[in-house]
Structure 1
């Protein structure tokens, strides 16, 4: 009886999270149409076992949002999220940096100082679509080439940014993630318990910081070339 009483709250909490909390995290800010539609880049992860769609309306047209996105990466502009967690404590840029704008498909946006891990720019359609992909071996965390032989244990996914102009000179930014991996059970447990909540926290923060940067940026002003800002 004592064991049952101890387990019951855990089961109840897990059921509450699965039924009410998790569905909201996976489509935070997105309409039903945005969450259910297909986007360019979805096909890069066929038979995905996990997917999320988050969205926000930003106070600038896509042409002004786009430069902030393409300059992301460690050693570049950062990720505009919680810098102590995802950028080794380095401050994300507060300005557009011109030398970080020439991005093309196949380029890498590195995630760690030694450049041992990165997102690959899988698709690029200025200023509408930016799709980043990562393919990692387990347990080493080393990238692998998905065009070759897959390792026995891996995780792969996309982090895709889709920009649509909306009324008032604003941008509807929809961020789609899709992922899969093997062993499948381990991949799903890790994704649900850690990956999905972490993505929600970091993506929500990025939305907030992008909005703040765009609101602070004069629409027609020249953009100074700087490499760091006030921090997040």
Structure 2
């Protein structure tokens, strides 16, 4: 029976072929979901924060309200605030994201921490802030502990992820908003994190980001109405 089983080399070959097909045909779509060519190629505020980024994705959607209506939903993002409007069981400790604008969550400041976990043990830092136009969040995390670090005060760890998550609002004709989300990062050790990016983080980001787009559209539509 064993002689009819595929050998390890054959299985590795099949896996390599599948990875190659994904990299050539599917990955470019995953990394530019919903964008125009101009949006995918354009520079945005915050891009220079990680000039030697290993990977970048740009995703976009159109929301049915002007930027001043969309902005308050972004301003209150964060665990222990309005949530992330995505899959709450995965990224908000099971707590439902806000379905209304909460005034006490509207204040944002440069370098403010927004909790990434309900425990507050990890966070995003407000790196670029242009109200009603741009919000760029930065996360610097040690591996494998998942603990935050800050390059301004401590040396670069041997294993880490340094990433940005940028939200860019641009008015659309007819009163809508083009929401363009740029994510990029640098991680080490790259031989390990490159595989994790392709097999897990990039598909996961697509799933979470498109869910956020959908839920933001529902909330913005209700606000506009």
TM-score (norm 2): 0.93
Q: Which residue of 1 aligns with 2:80?
A: 75
Q: Distance in 2 between matches of 1:188 and 1:142?
A: 20
Q: Which residue of 2 aligns with 1:225?
A: none
Say if 2:65 is the partner of 1:94.
no
Q: Distance in 2 between matches of 1:6 and 1:106?
A: 48
Instruction: Number of aligned residue pairs: give it.
Output: 219
Tell me the secondary structure at the aligned position of residue 217 of structure 1: helix
Deviation at 1:5, TM superposition (A): 4.6
Q: What are the Cα deviations for residues 86-117 of structure 1, in whole angstroms up to 9, with x where unaligned?
A: 11110001111010001111111102122110
Say if 2:177 is the partner of 1:171.
yes
Tell me the secondary structure at the aligned position of residue 178 of structure 2: strand
Note if contact 1:163-1:173 (Cα within 8 Å) is conserved in structure 2: yes
Deviation at 1:17, TM superposition (A): 1.0
Q: Which residue of 2 aligns with 1:217?
A: 223
Q: Which residue of 2 aligns with 1:191?
A: 197
Tell me the secondary structure at the aligned position of residue 22 of structure 2: helix
Q: Distance in 2 between matches of 1:154 and 1:77?
A: 28
Moved more, 45-54 or 4-13: 4-13
Q: Distance in 2 between matches of 1:143 and 1:8?
A: 38
Note if contact 1:180-1:187 (Cα within 8 Å) is conserved in structure 2: no
Counterparts of 1:156-167 in structure 2, within 5 Å, are: 156-167=162-173
Q: Which residue of 2 aligns with 1:181?
A: 187
Unaligned runs of 5+ in 2: none
Q: Distance in 2 between matches of 1:216 and 1:97?
A: 15
Counterparts of 1:7-86 in structure 2, within 5 Å, are: 7-86=12-91
Tell me the secondary structure at the aligned position of residue 25 of structure 1: helix
Q: Which has the higher contact order (CA 8 A, sep 6+)?
A: 1
Tell me the secondary structure at the aligned position of residue 204 of structure 2: helix
Say if 2:114 is the partner of 1:109.
yes
Q: What are the Cα deviations for residues 110-169 of structure 1, in whole angstroms up to 9, with x where unaligned?
A: 021221100001110011100000001111111111213211211110000000001010
Unaligned runs of 5+ in 1: 220-232
CA RMSD between the two structures: 1.3
TM-score (norm 1): 0.91
